[in-house]
């Protein structure tokens, strides 16, 4: 029997409707709305596409939004001054600097310059620290999307054996931290495997929940998956071109084989991907609500 497919597109749509309704309520009550600025340096085509999608979503949800485009040759000092301006802007609750930045700019310095209360990507060490100790105001967007897919997919997380494949700062480490917290939608036993792990399959076969962010197409095959496991595939790999000339994508999981063994699985595309921007919007809403409490 094939696994149930969790559509990130559908779940993201539900969450956006919830955000939109809450924004309308808050606007009626306080006369203001969440504000998001996306800062784009240069004209990298992928980055332009990402920020356009983020701005479009923000506007659809009723946010106040600014797209601040800066030239490729902006100095680090000028970019830091721009961030400082938005840190002080009371109409802005979320600041997002689109990565990658040009080589002459120190990305770490720029990300650390963002006010942690406006760091809706949750990359600032203050927010990373809060996440680790279970006091997160914002959760990193992709891991937060994974957690929502599991919860809304009806997966029992508490007490489950979770195996995370990959230890990146953006996905692997934060989702591991989030799922081991003593909290709702967490409380799991978590193992992280990576390129230094001697026998990855020995661990993945134990997983009730398998989260794969390996960065390698079809790295997880059916023989590496426990019967009835919930499988979340974070990977997006270009493996060729379709007859129509579009990029052919594959996840980090051998979807066709694994779906015959898993109880639940996310597709690529249409799984984790659509959740990331949605959770960015949720973080911006949380930042707005946090600012209201602290006025």
Q: Is 134 inside any structural domain?
A: no
Mean pLDDT of the region 207-234: 97
Residue 1 is predicted with a pLDDT of: 59
Q: Other C-beta atoms within 10 Å of 45: how many? A: 7
Which one is catalytic: 54, 118, 261, 282? 54
Sheet order of strands, 35-41 included: 64-70, 35-41, 94-97
How far apart (Å, rounded) are the C-alpha atoms in residues 235 and 222?
A: 16
Instruction: Specify the pLDDT at position 46.
Output: 86
Segment 151-160 shows an average pLDDT of 97
Q: With cut-offs at 50, 70 and 90, classify the pLDDT of residue 169.
A: very high
Active site annotation includes 256 = no
Average pLDDT value for residue range 122-142: 95
- Count of domains forming the chain: 2
Average pLDDT over residues 222-244: 91
In a domain, 120, yes or no: no
- Catalytic site includes residue 121: yes
For the stretch 90-127, pLDDT in tens is 999 999 999 999 999 999 999 999 999 999 999 999 99
Q: Is 68 considered catalytic here?
A: no
Question: What CATH number is given to the structural domain containing 48?
Answer: 3.40.50.10860
The residue annotated as part of the active site, out of 117, 119, 121, 254, is 121
| 98 and 92 Cβ atoms separated by less than 8 Å | no
The CATH number for 173's domain is: 3.40.50.720
Q: Of how many residues is the chain composed?
A: 295
Domain range for 160: 141-273
160 within domain boundaries: yes
Asked if the model's pLDDT at residue 31 lies above 70, the reply is: yes
Res 216 pLDDT > 90: yes
Residue 245: pLDDT band with limits 50, 70, 90 = confident
What mean pLDDT comes out for the span 198-221?
97
User: Which of the following is catalytic: 98, 139, 218, 233?
Assistant: 98
pTM over 0.85: yes
């Amino acid at each position: 029997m094939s696994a149930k497919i969790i559509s990130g597109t559908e779940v993201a749509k539900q969450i956006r409707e919830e955000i939109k309704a809450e924004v309308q309520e808050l606007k009626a009550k306080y006369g203001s709305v969440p504000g998001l600025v996306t800062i784009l340096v240069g004209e990298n085509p992928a980055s332009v596409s990402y920020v356009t999608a983020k701005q479009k979503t923000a506007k659809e949800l009723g946010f106040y939004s600014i797209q601040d485009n800066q030239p490729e040759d902006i100095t680090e000092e000028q970019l830091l001054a721009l961030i400082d301006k938005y840190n002080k802007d009371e109409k802005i609750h979320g600041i997002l600097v689109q990565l990658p930045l040009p080589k002459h700019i120190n990305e770490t310095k720029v990300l650390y310059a963002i006010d942690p209360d406006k760091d809706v990507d949750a990359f600032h060490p203050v927010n990373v620290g809060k996440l680790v100790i279970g006091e997160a105001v914002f959760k990193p967007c992709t891991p937060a999307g994974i957690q929502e897919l599991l919860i809304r997919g009806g997966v029992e997380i508490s007490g489950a054996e979770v195996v995370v494949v990959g230890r990146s700062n953006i996905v692997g480490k934060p989702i591991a931290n989030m799922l081991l917290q003593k909290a709702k939608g967490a409380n799991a036993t978590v193992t992280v495997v990576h390129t230094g792990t001697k026998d990855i399959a020995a661990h993945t076969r134990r997983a009730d929940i398998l989260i794969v962010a390996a960065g390698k197409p079809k790295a997880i095959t059916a023989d590496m998956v426990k019967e009835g496991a919930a499988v979340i595939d974070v990977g997006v790999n270009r493996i060729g071109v379709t007859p129509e000339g579009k990029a052919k994508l594959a996840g980090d999981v051998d979807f066709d084989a694994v779906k015959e063994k898993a109880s639940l699985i996310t597709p690529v595309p249409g799984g984790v991907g659509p959740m990331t921007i949605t959770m960015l919007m949720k973080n911006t809403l949380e930042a707005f609500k946090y600012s209201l409490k602290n006025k």
